[in-house]
Structure 1
Amino acid sequence: MLRVHFTSEDLTRVRVAPGPDFLWEITNSVQTLQRRDGAREFDAWRRWARPRLSGGRTLLAGLLPPRGYSPDFLTPTSGDRASLQAALDVLLSTPHPRLRTDLSQLATSLRLPGWVRSLAAGDTDALRRLGTALHTYQLEALAPYWARIRAHVDADRAVRLCSLLDRGTEGLLGGLGPQFRWRHPVLEVAYPVDQQLHLRGRGLVLQPSFFCWPTPTTLADGELPPVLVYPIHHAAGWAGPAPDAPPTEGSGPLGPLLGHTRAGVLRATLTGCSTVEAARLLQVTHPAVSQHVNVLRAAGLITTVRTAGRSLHVATAEGRALLAAEGRAVPPPTERGAAGLHR
């Protein structure tokens, strides 16, 4: 059991992460790939991923056993993590004492490959090797599905934010799922070991994770900025054959109908976004986003709310229904001829 202890100040500093975290999805998926549970959720993806992965998978598996402790430094909680490269830059700048501490703890329960000794010493080549393995794994195992992963996380975030608006922070915490139980001022979480996390006014980031399975997870070191990573619901057939190349943000069934960029703008409004945020996400110009926003608003698919000098574009019920229909449009693998943790 994990027990998260809140103060009154902590209850005002709970937030839901803005989207999937690259490094949490990598680490959680490497662990999930090594297990056999969660067959309904992950077996189709496992069958697809295993034959296409290069040697980086073995390297990462040596640091991320399917169960038990895994190093905190692999999922940093500070710095810019808005892109995979930014997240890797933060990870690869981990102070040497943190590397030694985390890898020494891992060595108490796991026989480590020889190169990890160099990594623990902060060796530049070992760090570069780790960064390459993480980047390659993301491209091979996750990038083709990233739009679907993001859509699932965005949908969960929308549910959590509605819960927060309707029932407040304690309602949000109490409604995270059957693995959670709120007993003021403690959140009890199903966990494979006993652990106490005292927030002490630092607040808590709730990080929905597509590959977190089967229980929530957190960092082992309670002195690090607190984060609680939890599993989300998976749509049936989500792993229906992925494209061979990483998708663009606007790809998918709605792309040919609306245009790929316009479909991407509509997806971005599912949880609300500004013109600047949508332009950054889709890597297009602000005027281009504004034009697509005007068309979507005229069609009744989004609305724009202006508050405190900021314009926020939000999908309407009709827009959300269209996005939900797109999610259901991906058939299960069998219909498309597909071959048959804690911290």
Structure 2
Amino acid sequence: MSFHLHFGPEDLLRCRFAVSPLWETQEALRTLHQSERHGYYGPWLRRVRKVAARIDLSAYRLLMPRLGYAPDVLCPPPRDRSASFADELARVRAADPELVREELARSLADTPGAAESARGRAMLADPAALRELTDVLEQTWRSLLLPHWPRHRALLEEDVAYRTRQLADGGLERLFADLHPALTWRAGTLTLHNRGDHERTLRGEGLLLVPSAFVWPKLVGGFDPPWQATLVYPARGIGGLWAAPAAPSDALVRLLGPNRAALLAGLAAPATTTDLAERHGLALSSVSAHLTVLRDAGLLTARRRGRQVLYERTGLGTAVAEG
């Protein structure tokens, strides 16, 4: 069983990337709901367990079939590369009520007994059902993702930067060869293996590529027309996203001091000042001062991406950090 996406000449020119806080929020809900994911996200689940227990998932459970359709209208493909959660949620809340009902009914039909349950019937009959569902999304975002979003977003943005370099070096063939083992690219057709049989011919709109920290080990592809064809894939480096920072060696601590040593050792991947302050429990002003010293010593570089400044180790910095 495979899902085939057929590209035309214009589609090859219109593939693009986006980061979606709304998608991450929905996948966080799915991770809470599906026990088979828990082994992959143990550190995150332990961190959010108490807060997550206060989120009512009863409505969403009916709309998350193990195999089947999840309503696209609740998490549409992002229009902008860096849309905010508020912008994405406002778009969902403004959806056509008839489209909402149609997609909810389709999803409920894929979960045995859901459409006939009292909750399922009420969801289809009540025009305010969308408000309840989006309120859950907003609560999940504010309580589970927003406190750690700078670090989370930096990981996704770094993945986009890496994939963009792949695209520049070797085109779509190079990009798709490394994106996920379930993908193959041949003669203008992208195939997702181990999926239900499905065909879609792109008609000039291209493919939207969205990295995710919560979709591992799967790959999500789809969105039927009129939605933009989208592929959500696991971002690189998610194993270290919720892990404690690497401890610096005693020799590095003696050389640089405990805080500078910790910052240098923990920069295995690019990060912002805000991310590093959260990760190491330090004040922003203190982190900024330490990063300036490390950069002046040639151990770090800084580069701007949009409104963010990302710090990463130089070759010398890596050699010093790793002894």
TM-score class normalised by the smaller sequence:
0.7 to 0.9
Q: Partner residue of 1:259?
A: 285
Conserved? CA contact 1:255–1:261, under 8 Å? no
SS at match of 1:69: coil
Gaps of 5+ in 1: 267-291, 306-310, 329-343
Deviation at 1:10, TM superposition (A): 0.5
SS in 2 for 1:225: coil
Identify the residue that residue 63 of structure 1 maps to in structure 2: 63
Counterpart for residue 334 of structure 1: none
Change (3 A) 1:317 1:128: closer
1:150-188 deviations in Å (ceiling 9; x for gaps): 232122212201101111233222331312111121011
| Distance across 2 between alignment mates of 1:312 and 1:129 | 33
Shift of 1:5: 0.7
Q: Assess, with a 3 A threshold, how the Cα gap between structure 1 residues 233 and 67 changes in structure 2: closer, same or farther.
A: farther
| Structure 2 residue aligned with 1:49 | 48
- Which 4+ stretches in 1 moved above 6 angstroms? 295-300, 311-314, 319-323
Contact 2:97 2:127 in 1 (8 A): no
1:178 corresponds to:
181
- In the TM superposition, residue 79 of structure 1 has moved relative to its aligned partner by 5.2
- Structure 2 residues without counterparts, runs of 5 or longer: 246-272
Q: Cα 1:67–1:304, aligned 2, differ >3 Å: closer, same or farther?
A: closer
> 1:191–1:215: 8 Å Cα contact kept in structure 2?
no
Note closer, same or farther for the CA distance 1:99–1:319 as it changes in structure 2 (3 Å cut): farther
Question: Aligned partner of 2:45: which letter?
Answer: R
In structure 2, which of residues 186, 191, 200 is the aligned counterpart of residue 197 of structure 1?
Answer: 200
- Please give the per-residue CA displacement for 1:99-121, whole angstroms capped at 9, x wherever unaligned: 12211211222214545545545
Paired residue type of 2:94: S
**Change beyond 3 A, Cα 1:8–1:239:** same
Alignment partner of 1:225 out of 211, 217, 228: 228
Distance 2:130 2:226 in 1: 24
- 1:304 to 1:144, Cα distance in 2 relative to 1, 3 A: closer
Structure number with bigger Rg: 2
SS for the counterpart of 1:175 is helix
For 1:22, the equivalent position in structure 2 comes to 21
1:31 matched residue in structure 2 = 30
Root mean square deviation, CA, Å: 3.9
Partner letter of residue 29 of structure 1?
A
Q: Are the counterparts in 2 of residues 218 and 227 from structure 1 also a CA contact under 8 Å? A: yes
Please show how residues 137-156 of structure 1 align to structure 2 within 5 Å.
Answer: 137-156=140-159
Contact 1:28 1:213 in 2 (8 A): no
- Scaled by the length of structure 2, the TM-score of the pair is 0.73
Structure 1 residue 85: deviation in Å? Answer: 1.6
User: 2:68 is matched by which residue type in structure 1?
Assistant: G
Corresponding residue pairs, total: 285
TM-score normalised by structure 1 residue count: 0.69
Aligned CA distance change for structure 1 residues 260 and 92 (closer, same or farther; 3 Å): farther
